[in-house]
Amino acid sequence: MSGTHSDAAISRQVRKLEALLEERGIVAGAALDEALDAFLAGSSPLNGARIVARAWTDPAFKERLLADGTSAVAELGYAAGGVQPQRLRVVENTARTHNVVVCTLCSCYPVRLLGPSPSWYKSEAYRSRVVREPRAVLAEFGCVLPADTEITVWDSSAETRYMVLPRRPAGTEGLTEQALTELITRNALIGTATL
């Protein structure tokens, strides 16, 4: 992992946290490992895709998702954040606007909904450049948008995570929710791709 924290530094921090939790009798190391393993086992971009497909097929759910992402995804059995609960904000792409997500400080990301973050998301280059020149960075991903499309960059944090609600592709009106789920990519949920 590149950026402000190396893998070794993060591993040291995790070990210190585990030691502190054990020392204070809050949780045993084995219990913490089990909780983390269980959380990661249920983390996948398929979760985010299911949420988007539901929003595309259920206007009332879509309205709730955009108003309060945390509560809406909980309806489908998903927690929005990581080990600690975070607020989820879902931002919608339209014909005139495109959203892209970054964490400029580290790599905050809704792991449960998108799976482990890709290495490029954690890179210092992505974290710094997408804020300054989002159109150029998106083009490098193959996401070339019309010149009049407004691009909004959302900065995730430890308290608030973001997910993009991509535009539903034309010609998919007759598809089932399951078939729609198969169209949705992790990069579209981050905003570095369109469908």
Which positions are annotated as active-site residues?
A: 103, 106-108
CA angle 53, 57, 60 (to 5 degrees): 110
The kind and range of the H/E element at 87 are strand 87-92
Specify the amino acid at residue 10: I
Closest CA to 115 of 181, 33, 42, 193: 42
CB 112 within 8 A of CB 39: yes
Q: Rounded distance, CA 11 to CA 21, Å?
A: 15
Q: Rounded distance, CA 36 to CA 148, Å?
A: 44
- Backbone φ, ψ for residue 155 (5° rounding): -100, 105
Mapped onto helix, strand or coil, the DSSP state of residue 161 is strand
Helix, strand and coil in the chain, % to nearest 5: 50, 10, 40
